[in-house]
Chain A
Amino acid sequence: KAGVTQTPRYLIKTRGQQVTLSCSPISGHRSVSWYQQTPGQGLQFLFEYFSETQRNKGNFPGRFSGRQFSNSRSEMNVSTLELGDSALYLCASKPGTGGYEQYFGPGTRLTVT
C-alpha cells in the first residue's frame, strides 16, 4: 500500500498571505489528522477529519481550517499567515476515528517571511 502523501513538500510565503496544504491518506483510511511540529512547541494536534466532517479540533486559532473530500483526501488552509506559523505540518491517517495507530506523511515545511 502506498503511504500518506503530502504536497507540496516545501513552501515559502509572506506574512498576511494564505496557504493550502494537501494530504492523501493510505487507501482505505477514512480519518485524517493534521499536526504542527515546531522546535519550541513540539508536535501539536490541529484537527481531525472523518467522513468529510471535522470531528475534533486542537487549540489553534480560527485561521487554521481544513476540509476532507469524499475520497478521504484532506486539505488544510492557513489564512493571514504569521511568522509563528512557520513549521512542519504533518498529516496522519488511520482507519477510523478511535484510538488507532496513526501513519504519518513526510510533511510540508512552511516558512513564513
Chain B
Amino acid sequence: AQSVSQHNHHVILSEAASLELGCNYSYGGTVNLFWYVQYPGQHLQLLLKYFSGDPLVKGIKGFEAEFIKSKFSFNLRKPSVQWSDTAEYFCAVNAGDSSYKLIFGSGTRLLVRP
C-alpha cells in the first residue's frame, strides 16, 4: 500500500532561518505530490503541487519543493521563515489506482519564534 512519511514531527525555528521539511513516499509509479498547510484554527490550504515537468515547483508564500524521483522524496523548503509560517504542514500523494484520494503524511508542526 502507498504511504507517506514525514520524519520531522516538530520543528522549532527562529525568524529568518531556513526551512526544509522532509517527505518520502512509497510508490514506484507515477505520482502527484502536494504540500498542504493548516494554520491554527484554519482549514487545510494547498501550498504547492507537482504533477509533471520541472521537478522544482514554487508555491504560495515563498515556499518551494523539489521532487527527486530516485529518492521518492518531495521536500518542502523556504529560505527565510516568518512568525506567520507557524502551522502544521502535510505532505500528500495520490498515485496509481488510488489517484482518487490523497494519502497524507502524519504532519510536521512548525513553530517560528519571533
Q: Measuring CB to CB, which residues of chain A are less than 8 angstroms from any residue of chain B? A: 3-4, 31, 33, 35, 42-45, 48, 55-56, 58, 90, 92, 97-99, 101-107
Decide: A105 near B43, CB < 8 A? Known: A42-B106, A43-B90. yes
- Give, as a whole number of angstroms, the nearest-CB distance from A40 to chain B: 10
Choose one: B100, B103, B106; the contact of A48 (CB below 8 Å). Answer: B100
Q: Is the CB of A101 within 8 A of B100?
A: no
Which residues in window 31-88 of B have CB below 8 A to A?
32, 34, 36, 42-46, 49, 51
Residues of B within 8 A of A (CB): 32, 34, 36, 42-46, 49, 51, 90, 92, 94-95, 99-107
A99 touches B104 (CB 8 A): no
A99 touching B32 by the CB < 8 A rule? yes
A101 with B49: CB separation less than 8 A: yes
Nearest A-chain residue to B97, judged by Cβ: A56
Residue of A nearest to B32 (CB): A99
Quick one: which of B44, B46, B104 contacts A42, CB cutoff 8 A?
A: B104
A contact patch SS: strand
Q: Within the complex, what minimum Cβ distance (angstroms) separates B59 from chain A?
A: 11
CA distance A90 to B99 in the complex (A): 18
| Chain A residues near B100 (CB-CB < 8 A) | 31, 33, 48, 55-56, 97-99
Seed contacts A35-B102, A90-B43, A107-B43; 16 additional CB < 8 Å A-B pairs: A4-B43, A33-B101, A33-B102, A42-B105, A43-B107, A44-B104, A48-B100, A48-B101, A92-B102, A98-B99, A99-B94, A101-B34, A104-B36, A104-B43, A104-B45, A105-B43
Chain B contacts for A105, CB-based, 8 A: 43
Which residues on B sit within 8 Å (CB–CB) of A90?
43-44
Name, among B46, B51, B100, the residue most crowded by chain A CB atoms within 10 Å (CB to CB).
Answer: B100
Q: List 9 A-B contacts (CB under 8 A).
A: A33-B101, A33-B102, A35-B102, A43-B92, A48-B100, A58-B101, A99-B99, A104-B45, A105-B43
Given contact pairs A101-B46, A107-B43, A43 touches B101 in the complex (Cβ within 8 A) = no
How far, in whole Å, are A42 and B44 apart by their CA atoms in the complex? 13
